[in-house]
Amino acid sequence: MMKPLLILIAGPYRSGTNGDAALIARNLARLEEASGPIFRLGHVPMIGEWAALPILRTLDAAEVETGDVMYETAHRLLQHCDAVLRLPGASTGADQDVAIAHERGLPVYRSLEEIPAAATP
């Protein structure tokens, strides 16, 4: 058994939505569906949008581009994460997360079944 990991869940958020709020919400819900199983395995799930969306709400629109905040937040989060779960679907941001994880030598899981259970107290 291993220590609990902080696992970034990466997958489509805005990709393929043409900005449609309902489709974006569906993508976020799909990302969030992986959080419970990761938690049950003894780890801490993280989704970049959980951190980036409040930041976007507090910044002036002229101050920064939406995509830049999303990508930069994920980039900063990956300095603290121990692994990435890459969900299926086209996503430039998720692909960048995987590339950063590989650069840092972090494991990249492609399914929940690949994630080992953590030791729990």
**46 inside domain:** yes
Q: Categorize the per-residue pLDDT at 56 as very low, low, confident or very high, splitting at 50, 70 and 90.
A: confident
Q: Which of 19, 15, 28 is nearest to 89 (CA)?
A: 15
Q: Which of 1, 13, 4, 5 is nearest to 87 (CA)?
A: 13
Domain that holds residue 40: 6-113
pTM of the model: 0.92
**100 inside domain:** yes
Average pLDDT rounded to a whole number, residues 1-20: 92
Please report the pLDDT score of residue 46 as a whole number. 98
**54 inside domain:** yes
**15 inside domain:** yes
Alpha carbons 19 and 85: distance in angstroms, whole number: 24
pLDDT digits (tens, 9 = 90+) for 94-116: 999 999 999 999 999 999 999 99
Classify 80 as helix, strand or coil.
Answer: coil
Q: Residue 63 to residues 50, 55, 72, 93: CA-CA distances in angstroms?
A: 20, 12, 14, 21
The tally of domains found in the chain comes to 1
